[in-house]
Amino acid sequence: MEYQHAKVGQYQELDNGLKMHYHERGVGGIPLIFLHGGGQGSGGWTNWKTNLDFFADAGYHAIAPDAIGYGLSDKPEDGNFDFDSLMQALTNFIDKKGFDKVNLVGNSMGGAMSIRFTQDYPDRVEKLTVMAPGGIGPMERYIAMPAITMLKELGQMEGGFTKERLRTFLEYLTFTPSVVDDELLNERYEVAQTQPAKVFQTLHITDLRDRLHILKNMPLLVLWGRDDRACPIESAMEIMAECDNAKLVVYSETGHWVQAEQNEDFNRTCLEFLRK
């Protein structure tokens, strides 16, 4: 398929024959993998385009894959897009790339995936950074958040899913609506047209709290926007209660996208954490 707005990177075929799309920058050192959040039209590039080159220039091998069902990765109509299937695809992607050990940076759904991978393979993760991750509490806690309520209603309104309704939702995710520019909106809307409804109907992120103790000594950076309307900031303290080698940074006047709304400070803070 040819895309008018979406930025095309590279593809990795998985063992099940599906292809995962990803953007890759830099070389050397333990790979730094950025995992994106969910929602219509989301993907690695739209989540991390203001961060990848910074970390590559700092000497890191930075990679932002699209989960199966998202971005430019395969989205079969009869595919499996539940959380376990997304995790299996991510693990296979990391294996196929030949990475024995990685650093992970995850936002929202990608934060939950980062935590779950670290719980499953603690010896394969050097350092973990999560930004307003999902999975810290029951799914009902997240569904009750106003941005998630809006997300569920997005395709059910009279007149259906439109670009302007997507813009309203994306702006609601942020404290600074100006980060939702036409470039971001056009790419996400274009990608959203290719996503089967099943992608959103079957995603149920597991409550990860019972295994947070596995992260007890893991070098961990937790970032959150005070004004996040998608993932409750109260969950941050549940992470901190279980993890003894963790740092929490909360940004005022910031919503769900710390990496975009506080771009320069996000990059500096993460780089300092990785180099420490």
Question: Could you say which of 23, 36, 61, 256 is catalytic?
Answer: 256
Q: If you compute the radius of gyration of the chain from its CA atoms, what whole number of angstroms results? A: 17
DSSP character string of 213-249: GGGTTS-EEEEEETT-SSS-TTHHHHHHHH-SSEEEE
Is residue 63 within 8 A of residue 24, CB to CB? The reply is yes
Q: Where are the alpha helices (DSSP H) in 10-70?
A: 44-48, 52-57
State the Cα–Cα distance between residues 62 and 74, nearest whole angstrom. 22
Block residue for tokens 């990059």: 267
Kindly give, in sequence order, each residue whose CB lies less than 8 Å from that of residue 25, ignoring residues fewer than 6 positions away: 52, 53, 55, 56, 61, 62, 63
Phi/psi zone of residue 34: left (φ > 0), alpha (ψ -120 to 50 degrees), beta? beta
61 labelled catalytic = no
What positions carry a catalytic annotation?
A: 256
